[in-house]
Amino acid sequence: MLTATAQKPALKYFTLAFGVTAGGLLLSAALGWTIFGTLGGMLNILFITAVLSVLEISLSFDNAIVNANKLRDMSPKWQHRFLTWGILIAVFGMRIVFPLLVVCIAAKIGPWAALELAWANPDRYAHIMEGARIPISAFGGTFLLMVALSYFFDPEKEVHWLPGVERFMTKIAGAKLLVVTIVIAVITLMSNLFDPAVGRAFLQSAIWGLLTFLLVDVLSHYLDSQNATKAVGQAGFGAFMYLEILDASFSFDGVIGAFALTQNLFIIAIGLGIGAMYVRSMTVMLVEKGTLNEYRFLENGAFWSILVLAIVMFLHVEFHVPEVVTGLLGAGLIGASFWASVRDKACRSE
């Protein structure tokens, strides 16, 4: 069970992440030496691994905040399951299995052949992944757009970081299916901006992203509405599924963007996997220390960051937005909301 342990030093939360970092860097060094056989090549691989880890942390910090917010309402059993099984799914599923699955479908080959392709012909592998950019961006962008707008257009939302905009969205949130209407309008208008073939692919994948969010939301609400002790576990399962799909949507951008740094799937998996462990550690720390309660606008900043990431993923259909720009935008919004929270806390304590 995650309990408030304010006395626990912050660095203690990252013990596992530090261990994974050490192991990952050693593995990267071994891969670098195997591939290049030189000290320079090995150091280059180590540098790329470190950059990928930082990229993943910067892109997923808002994910940690959203995870922490959802985990507060989950039973201790499902908290533990998400922080164990969930992280395994996040690291191995999205950083290894997902890219392989994309190549399997696009190239119509088996998993083992896709793995051999990733090792023997990384350029071809990266080209196939790049070809899947449109459906991935449309699906992930639509899912994240639904996540962000559902947060802001909530009639029960009480904390407003940007009061003018957020209060207005809360005020009109009672309109039935408003968020779905907005998202359908956005993806329809965007699909008309592309040439017909790209537009069709974009719209189809975006609709699947919308349907996935709605199905998970319906499942979560249904399980939450059940009574008795049995329902606690069911509700935890609904929240678990929501967090897993949300993590997958966050991961799309990082996985695709990683190929700009290296075409080697194994280096990508190590670098992003290290970053994912720090996101897990941050999630635990945020829950146990009650940081979201203490810094009340931090959650708002995270959802504004999600909204920006959704827009960036849509832009990825036609343009390349550097991942460092995406990370800085998200970090800037969260940093600004943190500063506003500090000032608000100081004012309330006077």
Flag whether pLDDT at 18 surpasses 70. Answer: yes
Radius of gyration of the chain (CA): 21
At 132 the three-state DSSP class reads coil
Flag whether pLDDT at 186 surpasses 90. Answer: yes
pLDDT digits (tens, 9 = 90+) for 55-65: 777 667 777 77
Flag whether pLDDT at 227 surpasses 50. Answer: no
CA 75 to chain centre: 22
In whole angstroms, what is the distance from residue 305 CA to residue 152 CA? 12
Closest CA to 68 of 281, 339, 342: 281
In whole angstroms, what is the distance from residue 51 CA to residue 229 CA? 46
Q: Please give the share of the chain, as a percent, with pLDDT higher than 90.
A: 9
Residue type, position 206, single letter: A
Question: Would you state the pLDDT for residue 181?
Answer: 92
Question: Average pLDDT for residues 303-316, to the nearest whole number?
Answer: 84
pLDDT digits (tens, 9 = 90+) for 86-104: 777 766 677 677 777 777 8
Q: Which long-range contacts (CB under 8 A, 24 or more apart) does 28-32 make?
A: 28/267, 28/270, 28/271, 31/264, 31/266, 31/267, 31/270
pLDDT band at 184 (very low <50, low <70, confident <90, very high): very high
Closest CA to 321 of 329, 23, 218: 329
Flag whether pLDDT at 171 surpasses 70. Answer: yes
pTM of the model: 0.72
Token pair for residue 167?
A: 């209060």
State the helix-helix crossing angle for 122-131 and 111-120, rounded to 10 degrees: 120
Flag whether pLDDT at 205 surpasses 70. Answer: yes
Q: Is the dihedral of CA 108, 110, 113, 114 positive or negative?
A: positive
Question: Would you state the pLDDT for residue 307?
Answer: 87
In whole angstroms, what is the distance from residue 304 CA to residue 149 CA? 9
Please state, in angstroms and as integers, the Cα–Cα distance from residue 265 to each residue in 17, 89, 131, following that order. Answer: 21, 17, 16
Question: Would you state the pLDDT for residue 209?
Answer: 86
pLDDT band at 207 (very low <50, low <70, confident <90, very high): very high
Question: Would you state the pLDDT for residue 318?
Answer: 81
Please give the angle made by the CA atoms of 73, 78 and 81, to the nearest 5 degrees. 140
Q: Which helix (H) or strand (E) holds 342?
A: helix 323-349
Average pLDDT over the chain reads 78
Please state, in angstroms and as integers, the Cα–Cα distance from residue 66 to each residue in 146, 168, 279, 280, 290, following that order. Answer: 14, 22, 11, 12, 13
Question: Average pLDDT for residues 127-144, to the nearest whole number?
Answer: 81
The answer to whether the CB of 338 falls within 8 A of the CB of 295 is: yes
Flag whether pLDDT at 23 surpasses 90. Answer: yes
pLDDT band at 232 (very low <50, low <70, confident <90, very high): very low
More confident residue, 171 or 59: 171
Please state, in angstroms and as integers, the Cα–Cα distance from residue 205 to each residue in 95, 117, 138, following that order. Answer: 21, 26, 6
More confident residue, 23 or 310: 23
In whole angstroms, what is the distance from residue 3 CA to residue 276 CA? 22
Question: Would you state the pLDDT for residue 54?
Answer: 75
pLDDT band at 309 (very low <50, low <70, confident <90, very high): confident
Q: Please give the share of the chain, as a percent, with pLDDT higher than 70.
A: 82
The answer to whether the CB of 48 falls within 8 A of the CB of 259 is: no
More confident residue, 293 or 301: 301
Write the DSSP assignment of 96-113 as a string of letters.
Answer: IIHHHHHHHHHHT--HHH
Q: How many CB atoms lie within 10 A of CB 116?
A: 13
Question: Would you state the pLDDT for residue 59?
Answer: 66
At 273 the three-state DSSP class reads helix
pLDDT band at 30 (very low <50, low <70, confident <90, very high): very high
Question: Average pLDDT for residues 143-169, to the nearest whole number?
Answer: 85
Question: Would you state the pLDDT for residue 151?
Answer: 85
Question: Would you state the pLDDT for residue 229?
Answer: 42
Please name the residues in contact with 171: beta carbons below 8 A apart, sequence gap of 6 or more. none
Which single residue is written with the structure tokens 């209060």?
167
